[in-house]
A and B are shown apart, each in its own frame.
Chain A
């Protein structure tokens, strides 16, 4: 099982793997916002949690279509489906490697980008916590979307349409936790919801992803 995880991370980091693409997109998005909104630091500080969360969400989307599509095209997915590793485990590992190469770097980079949006320093801790709790759900949901559309030409666009509405609860509770943190209000209820969404996605979606893959491979 570790072999699949190691291979996927290796593939993501090597040339053409798309590691860093999401991170660069995140950076550019955050840099662009002050140009659009203007340099007023009060306004920027107010919208910073939302912008950072939406940015993280969109950067996650960028690499979703690679999760299964490349393996499908070169025939590896067929071979994986006949391997002793259950497809449910393969789907979980793919989601985990997606998170390790997109969600985790985003979480680490977010505090630094928060500075660009003059986000209050009290909010930084909550931003990191909420992203760490929420981004695994984004990877799980994204893997499910990718499994549904594997084999479709230009499936990447469809994945975005399928997955973005599913991202909404994560976005709402994630941004809410940071906003509350910035204003000094209790954040625990929003964070608990975020954790619950991630836990539910992690427990259930690998089965849905594997079923979708089986349908698409036949």
Chain B
């Protein structure tokens, strides 16, 4: 599914972090965000996922088509792997969790509680959730953190499969995933120079008015 933004400004808290971001991503294409730490990759992805409304500019898609994967894994440690996956499958109205289980090789872990998983296994479980959303745009924030080479390859395969079905993706990552149809965008030029002064008075906040 193709998507894009035009002249987008996004903010984090009271500070406008990015201005004038424009890009278009075609169906079956992945956009890799590259920029130094603190440049606003997470801010942009949260904005695309609809968590923070843009300050100005236009998003040319519905945020209901975006599946967002954050830094945090979003797992419930007291629930088993299967219960975690089934919960998200029910929330997104997907019946079958098996494609996600197979793609990230979670079959042996299904009955294990999430708190007993290693960091890499938690990450795999968290990423497999994307396949249950049935959404066409994947917005991923550092998806390969704590994954080993073998699982990075598994993840790449999942992304390639998603792109082959006409999906698209935007992700912040520092490593080369070997995606055939990936484009790289450096967002450091969009960094906002003029930064809002944070106000102490919440009633001055435009979002409240």
The answer to whether A82 and B91 touch (CB under 8 A), given A11-B78, A15-B78, A75-B74, is no
Binds A, one of B47-55, B102-110, B159-167: B47-55
Chain A residue at minimum C-beta to C-beta distance from B126: A75
The answer to whether A82 and B63 touch (CB under 8 A), given A218-B51, A218-B52, is yes
User: In whole angstroms, what is the CA distance A78 to B73 when docked?
Assistant: 10
Query: Which of chain B's residues have a CB closer than 8 A to the CB of A84?
Result: 64, 91-93
User: In whole angstroms, what is the CA distance A163 to B1 when docked?
Assistant: 46
A192 contacts B by Cβ under 8 Å: no
B183 contacts A by Cβ under 8 Å: no
B51 contacts A78, CB within 8 Å? yes
User: In whole angstroms, what is the CA distance A79 to B83 when docked?
Assistant: 16
A200 contacts B by Cβ under 8 Å: no
User: In whole angstroms, what is the CA distance A79 to B52 when docked?
Assistant: 13
Query: Which of chain A's residues have a CB closer than 8 A to the CB of B51?
Result: 78, 81-82, 217-218
Chain B residue at minimum C-beta to C-beta distance from A15: B78
Q: Which of B13, B66, B71, B91 contacts A3 (CB 8 A)?
A: B91
Q: Could you tell me the distance in whole angstroms from the C-beta of B6 to the nearest C-beta in chain A?
A: 21
B91 contacts A4, CB within 8 Å? yes
Q: What's the dominant secondary structure at chain A's contact region?
A: helix
Interface residues on B, range: 20 to 34
User: In whole angstroms, what is the CA distance A78 to B66 when docked?
Assistant: 13
A74 contacts B73, CB within 8 Å? yes
Within 8 A of A (CB), among B61-86: 63-64, 66-68, 70-79, 83, 86
Query: Which of chain B's residues have a CB closer than 8 A to the CB of A10?
Result: 78-79, 83
User: In whole angstroms, what is the CA distance A85 to B64 when docked?
Assistant: 11
Interface string of A12-54 (1 = CB under 8 A from B): 0011110000000000000000000000000000000000000
A-B interface contact total, Cβ < 8 Å: 74
A83 contacts B by Cβ under 8 Å: yes
User: In whole angstroms, what is the CA distance A3 to B73 when docked?
Assistant: 19
Q: Which of A4, A14, A79, A218 contacts B68 (CB 8 A)?
A: A79
Within 8 A of A (CB), among B102-124: none
B72 contacts A17, CB within 8 Å? no
Query: Which of chain B's residues have a CB closer than 8 A to the CB of A79?
Result: 68, 70, 74, 88, 129
Q: Could you tell me the distance in whole angstroms from the C-beta of B28 to the nearest C-beta in chain A?
A: 23
Q: Could you tell me the distance in whole angstroms from the C-beta of B117 to the nearest C-beta in chain A?
A: 13
Query: Which of chain B's residues have a CB closer than 8 A to the CB of A83?
Result: 91-92
Q: Could you tell me the distance in whole angstroms from the C-beta of B63 to the nearest C-beta in chain A?
A: 7
The answer to whether A11 and B72 touch (CB under 8 A), given A82-B51, A82-B63, is no
Interface string of A115-138 (1 = CB under 8 A from B): 000000000000000000000000
Q: Could you tell me the distance in whole angstroms from the C-beta of B145 to the nearest C-beta in chain A?
A: 13
**10 extra interface residue pairs, beta carbon distance < 8 Å, beyond A76-B74, A218-B51:** A3-B90, A4-B91, A10-B78, A10-B79, A17-B78, A74-B73, A75-B74, A78-B72, A80-B91, A82-B50
Using a CB–CB cutoff of 8 Å, the interface residues on chain B facing chain A are 13, 46, 49-53, 63-64, 66-68, 70-79, 83, 86-88, 90-93, 129, 207-208
